[in-house]
Structure 1
Amino acid sequence: MLSKFLAVIIGYLFGNFISAMFVGKYYLHKDPTKYGSCNPGTANMGAVFGKKAGILTCIGDLLKTLLAICLVYAIYHQHLLTAYTVLGVVLGHCFPVFNHFKGGKAVAVTAMVTVLYDWRAGLITLLIALVLTAIMQNLTIPPLVFMLSFSIYQLTKSLEPGLAFLIMTAVMAFKFRYDIRDFFTGHGKRVDILYTIKKKLGILK
């Protein structure tokens, strides 16, 4: 029990490193919470400040998640603790005490951990989310479908990690609550992830 608690705490501390805030302060010299959707995450950084800012933010979020997982595994050598570690990272990323509990939505974080925890299920659910994103042109529902599907699958295999992933899904849903409302009321933002491909193929001028 102590190891699980410490895994969550370690993950939470790493999660408090909000990459978007770091990129905004030292690279852009701007506060990302005052632009676009005001969300300090990869999607908003890329949409408002360009691909490079979005990529740097994503790399930072992935790196902090990987470092947290590696540290806990180096201490305890237990695969199960990966789920608890990332639960902590997600909580820290979404509700960072060092940023007044105003964080991102943990899409990049959860995408990475699902592949690390169970690469087959992770890749399959990510592929489903990618297809849904292309079809729906929406960045809210596909990530939630992806995490819920992965969580339910893990729950059928083992109760503890399955519950941990379900809690992560619930946290993401809470952070996406306004986007979910906008989607179902017809006010959701549409994002065509195939735009660049279509343009290169000459479908769009």
Structure 2
Amino acid sequence: MMEWLLVPLAYSVGSVCSAIVVCRLMGLPDPREQGSGNPGATNVMRFGGKKAAGITLLGDSLKGLLPVYAGKMLGVPTELLAIIGLAAFMGHLYPVFFGFKGGKGVATSVGVLLGFSWLLGGAVMATWLLMYKIGKISSLSALVASVLSSLYAWFLIGDPAIVSATAVMTVFLLWRHKTNIERLLTGEET
């Protein structure tokens, strides 16, 4: 029963906004008040550069990976592992420490997927890289990789709980990217 404490712990870890922490530590402006206003690595790159964005990306990924990996090490059932991953992801989207206004969740979802399976996370990252190499549009790359993630989870893992968690993350990623999708459809996305 104690293993269920990993769920609120995962949400709390997910709620730590890497972009805000990195920007404060590096003397950069608050990412919520710069560029797109999104506290994520892509926005941090716009005004803070590659180093700040890279640290943000790593932080956001780790807060998805570490709770899931901890659950795996403790041998929690797959259903609970899926819930732990979702809790970390939802913490990033709706962080308790920052007024429930978080990022879009791409890096954190990749961290969760890496926690579920290195092969699954690797397939999603490879898809993102391939799409970015082709189209040079980060949001499009993230959306395609996310949509394919459930399919990858089905073929690579096959566990209904993991596939379901992956599908839920995809739905939220699509929702959080709705303005990007609108700009993609009108050809205005940079």
Fold match, TM over 0.5? yes
Among the aligned pairs, what percent are the same residue? 30
Helix, strand or coil at the partner of 2:26: helix
Contact kept, 8 Å, 1:11 with 1:88, in 2: the verdict is yes
Q: Which residue of 2 aligns with 1:176?
A: 177
Contact kept, 8 Å, 2:10 with 2:88, in 1: the verdict is yes
CA distance in 1, matches of 2:123, 2:69: 24
Structure 2: gaps (5+ residues): none
Contact kept, 8 Å, 2:78 with 2:161, in 1: the verdict is no
Cα deviation for residue 24 of structure 1 reads 1.8
Instruction: For 1:45, give the aligned amino acid.
Output: V
Q: Which residue of 2 aligns with 1:118?
A: 117
Q: What is the 5 A alignment of 1:35-184?
A: 35-155=34-154, 157-184=158-185
Confirm or deny that 1:27 pairs with 2:26: yes
Instruction: For 2:29, give the aligned amino acid.
Output: K
Instruction: For 1:47, give the aligned amino acid.
Output: R
Contact kept, 8 Å, 1:7 with 1:88, in 2: the verdict is no
Contact kept, 8 Å, 2:114 with 2:121, in 1: the verdict is yes
Structure 1: gaps (5+ residues): 190-205
Helix, strand or coil at the partner of 1:50: helix
Contact kept, 8 Å, 1:10 with 1:72, in 2: the verdict is no
Cα deviation for residue 7 of structure 1 reads 4.2
Scaled by the length of structure 1, the TM-score of the pair is 0.81
Contact kept, 8 Å, 2:10 with 2:87, in 1: the verdict is yes
Contact kept, 8 Å, 1:3 with 1:76, in 2: the verdict is no
CA distance in 1, matches of 2:54, 2:121: 21
Q: For residues 125 and 64 of structure 1, do their structure 2 counterparts lie closer, same or farther at Cα, with a shift above 3 Å needed?
A: closer
The count of residues paired between Structure 1 and Structure 2 equals 188
CA distance in 1, matches of 2:101, 2:108: 16
Helix, strand or coil at the partner of 1:105: coil
Q: Using the TM superposition, name which of 56-65 and 28-37 deviates more.
A: 56-65
Instruction: For 1:93, give the aligned amino acid.
Output: H
Cα deviation for residue 27 of structure 1 reads 1.9
Helix, strand or coil at the partner of 1:140: helix
Helix, strand or coil at the partner of 1:101: coil
Contact kept, 8 Å, 2:41 with 2:54, in 1: the verdict is yes
Contact kept, 8 Å, 2:66 with 2:115, in 1: the verdict is no
CA distance in 2, matches of 1:120, 1:74: 18
Instruction: For 2:35, give the aligned amino acid.
Output: G
CA distance in 1, matches of 2:174, 2:22: 25
Q: Using the TM superposition, name which of 94-103 and 74-83 deviates more.
A: 74-83
Q: For residues 119 and 40 of structure 1, do their structure 2 counterparts lie closer, same or farther at Cα, with a shift above 3 Å needed?
A: same
Tell me which structure has the larger Cα radius of gyration. 1
Q: For residues 31 and 40 of structure 1, do their structure 2 counterparts lie closer, same or farther at Cα, with a shift above 3 Å needed?
A: same
Q: Using the TM superposition, name which of 140-149 and 37-46 deviates more.
A: 140-149
Scaled by the length of structure 2, the TM-score of the pair is 0.87
